[in-house]
Amino acid sequence: MRSKASFLTYDHGHPDDESDILELNDDISRPRGKGNGKGKKSNTSSVDGVTGKTRMSKEERLRLNEEKKQQKEREKLQKAAQKAEAAEIKKREKEKEKWEKGKFAHKSIVAHIDTKVVELGSIGGHLLSRLAEKGLSFRVSSNPIEKSIVWSISVPEEISKISSEVIKVPYILIICEAEEFCDLVNSESLMSHISRVQRLYPLHTVCYLTNKLMAYINKREQGQYKDPANHIGWKRPPIEEVLSKLTINFVKVHSRHCVDEAELAEHVAGLTYSLASCQFRNKLTRLSVNANGSLIPKSCVDKDMIKKSPWLKALVAIPKVQPRFAIAIWKKYPTMKSLLHVYMDPSKSVHEKEFLLKDLKVENMLGDDRKLGEICSRRVYRILMAQCGSIKTDDIESGADFFSQHSAE
């Protein structure tokens, strides 16, 4: 207590010191000052900065994820589009292969029928009905040649993007009634008519299709015989002579005679079908041997083996060389080169070469073996060693090629 009183006494004794003490107390009771306030504010702002950076990094991450997702979606759509395009190209290629093989030929061929044919009445009705039954397309139009039918093959819609070419079939059919054809023959205007058709269609095969021609001629002849008074001036046309002139004097001109309208319509429908198919067949070349070996008899046991061997097919294509003869030669000389090597040997005489194959054994169906023979051996040698390709095989076999070589020398 004493200390406290003395302390108070001391304060009252020194007023200046009291004010100093009060100021000191005020300083103690006040906050630490502006410096401390500024530090707190800077700490708060630094925390806010870290939070902002964290918030920005999250937004950036979301944005990057969204961009990646969109990129993957675009790549997925692009791959799907590429896949669909590849599938479409593959489909078109398949359709093109089918088109080149003639799978769409019968659906694509169109018969352009002249209006005069339809106006013939019974012929036009039968013809249009038969074509419709066969599922073949046709158009009735005005052709440059009256009463004619021409054909074209258009590209189907499936492959129209690949090619839009229209194939013109080089064939023209001219339909004539019996009386009309007889008038052309009697007036000697048939040849000029053919020339006119060939000028308009120089690359086409021309066919004159007649209806009931012979029946008409026989009917007129019988009527003239029974009642000559009513058939004065009628003369039987020289049909046979004119038709032979068509073959001799013109190239790619022929005729066809039908007994009635039904046969005529069936012929035109079958012709349309054949014209569509033949446009896509493999063209025969100099190396083709008689339509892939059609000379081989159906009863031949080795038919399949011969068809697979070009050498055997060439041997069978030689006149009078049977399949068993060809197989006998093939067993001794398995290739054409091996046989020609012996034929071209200068150390052997022509006589030896001609009879080179005569002793070859030919297997018979009954089991007894026979020899090939001199005639067949000579035939094979002379045909394979022939120098002139324009001589007929029968003449070559008789030695015509040998004499032509010596005459040329």
Averaged pLDDT score across all residues of the chain: 77
State the DSSP H helix or E strand holding residue 205, giving kind and residue range, or none if neither: strand 205-211
Domain 105-279 has CATH 3.30.2090.10: no
Query: Smallest Cα–Cα separation from 350: which of 381, 388, 395, 322?
Result: 381
Domain ranges of the chain: 66-101, 105-279, 302-385
In the predicted structure, residue 225 carries a pLDDT above the cut 50: yes
Instruction: Assign a CATH topology to domain 302-385.
Output: DNA polymerase; domain 1 (1.10.150)
* 20-34, 190-204, 331-345: the lowest-pLDDT one: 20-34
> Is 123 a residue whose pLDDT tops 60?
yes
Please report the pLDDT score of residue 175 as a whole number: 93
CA 110 to chain CA centroid, nearest Å: 18
In this prediction, residue 367 carries a pLDDT of 59
Residue of 217 and 3 predicted with greater confidence: 217
> What CA–CA distance (Å, rounded) separates 148 from 144?
8
**Which is nearest to 156 in space by CA: 108, 204, 221?**
108
pLDDT at 15 over 50: no
H/E/C letters for each residue in 137-184? EEEEECCCCCCEEEEEEECCHHHCCCCCCEEEEEEEEEEEEHHHHHHH
DSSP assignment of 190-237, as one string? HHHHHHHHHHHSTTSEEEEEEESHHHHHHHHHHHHHH-GGGGTT----
Predicted local distance difference test score (pLDDT) of residue 9: 40
Whole-structure pTM value: 0.53
**Confidence label for 208 from pLDDT (cuts 50, 70 and 90):** very high
Among candidates 114, 242, 115, which has minimal Cα distance to 172? 114
264-273 CB burial, b ≥16 within 10 A, e <16: bbbbbbebbb
- Residue range 84-88: average pLDDT? 86
Q: Which of the two residues, 231 and 401, has the higher pLDDT score?
A: 231
Does the pLDDT at position 205 exceed 50?
Answer: yes
Compute the distance between CA of residue 358 and CA of residue 11 in angstroms, rounded to an integer: 163
Res 303: pLDDT: 78
**Quick one: average pLDDT of 306-312?**
85
